[in-house]
Amino acid sequence: MNDKEILLANPRGFCAGVERAIEIVERALVRFGAPIYVRHEVVHNKFVVDGLRAKGAVFIEDLSDVPPGNTVVFSAHGVPQSVRSEAQARGLQVFDATCPLVTKVHLEVARMREQGRELVMIGHKGHPEVEGTMGQVKDGIHLAETVADVATLQVANPDMLAYVTQTTLSMDDAAAIVDALRKRFPAIIGPKKDDICYATQNRQDAVKFMAPQADVVFVVGSLNSSNSNRLREVAELRGVPAYLVDNAEDIDPAWLEGKRRIGVTAGASAPEVLVAAVIDRLKSLGGTSVRSLEGVPERVTFPLPRELQNVQSG
């Protein structure tokens, strides 16, 4: 089946927090040499992690796996305070690649708790960002994953509550949970809407714009990438078959049968070279033209840690 049009969502792919996190590992490798230990995948992308591993990064989940005297980078998703204290107690050199927009939520959690408030975190259980954000305080923080969870929350004082959210949630799911919280606890305070970041919002909006024009949507991203999964769901919820693919080889030609317009986007941790490879594969499977869709421009950048600013990237 020939004559397929490829539509490219905008914006897509790397966000400012991911760019910074990868750059920190690359520059730490140049500045201090291998191995550089990284607590958790610095971003949830197999291609990125494999590339950094090949340059000498060693990915670990537990700081006890970092030998004394070494350097460790905290992933972009952030860490609980207990991990920070452990690194300090062990005398490890730390570079913190936590996205500044995640750190902002961490600071809010600490501030609210200091005011004597209990917190509700809206997010996905077991995700490292949720563990990091909830781990900013010793107690008094509850997780709500769904609207149903709101009904069963047990809080000490409904008049002293605040909420925060994971940065990569579905905008629509988060809004529904915030509504339920406000209904059950009218005195709850929080951000104006949520803590979903600019990149998550822009990528979801871009898929909402693209999906009605597409017969099938491919999201380039790894399976463990929360924001990439949300992009796939956004397309699927609009009635368009949607697939999360780690790379071009993941595409099953059967998914293209009878489809004329093929939408492509990428999660915040997926590099553009993978998108280019997906486009090439789609061309080999009948794609004849590529149309880049309009979208909001992004100009966000975050500064690197001072010690790495003058190091050449690897």
* Piece of 3-11, 130-138, 223-231, 232-240 that binds ligand 10E (CB under 6 A): 223-231
* Piece of 1-9, 88-96, 181-189, 263-271 that binds ligand 10E (CB under 6 A): 263-271
- Binding to ligand 10E (CB under 6 A) within 85-124 occurs at 99, 102
Closest alpha carbon to 46 in 266, 269, 280, 282? 269
Classify residue 15 by burial, with Cβ atoms within 10 Å: 0-12, 13-18, 19+: buried
User: If contact means CB under 5 to 8 A according to the sort of partner, which of ligand 10E, ligand SF4, none does residue 267 touch?
Assistant: ligand 10E
- Residue 63's alpha-carbon distances to 28, 96, 106, 252, in angstroms, are 18, 14, 21, 39
Q: Please, which residue, 208 or 260, has the CB nearer to ligand SF4?
A: 208
d(CA 241, CA 291): 20
d(CA 248, CA 160): 50
Site string for ligand 10E, 166-205 (x = CB under 6 A): -xx-------------------------------------
- Binding to ligand SF4 (CB under 6 A) within 194-213 occurs at 197, 199-200
- To ligand 10E, the closest distance from the beta carbon of 74 in angstroms equals 11
Q: Residue ranges of the alpha helices (H) in 68-168?
A: 81-89, 100-114, 128-134, 147-152
Q: How many residues bind ligand SF4 (CB under 6 A)?
A: 15
Question: Which of the following is catalytic: 19, 118, 129, 233?
Answer: 129
- Check residue 20 for interaction with ligand 10E (CB under 6 A): no
Find how far residue 33's CA is from the centre of its chain: 28
Classify residue 127 by burial, with Cβ atoms within 10 Å: 0-12, 13-18, 19+: middle
User: If contact means CB under 5 to 8 A according to the sort of partner, which of ligand SF4, ligand 10E, none does residue 16 touch?
Assistant: ligand SF4
Dihedral Cα 273, 50, 33, 97, nearest 10 deg: 80
- To ligand 10E, the closest distance from the beta carbon of 206 in angstroms equals 16
User: If contact means CB under 5 to 8 A according to the sort of partner, which of ligand SF4, ligand 10E, none does residue 71 touch?
Assistant: none
- To ligand SF4, the closest distance from the beta carbon of 107 in angstroms equals 14
Q: Residue ranges of the alpha helices (H) in the chain?
A: 16-32, 46-55, 81-89, 100-114, 128-134, 147-152, 171-184, 198-210, 226-237, 272-284
* Piece of 57-65, 145-153, 243-251, 262-270 that binds ligand 10E (CB under 6 A): 262-270
d(CA 55, CA 86): 26
Contact residues: ligand 10E, CB under 6 A = 17-18, 43-44, 76-77, 99, 102, 129, 167-168, 225-228, 267-269
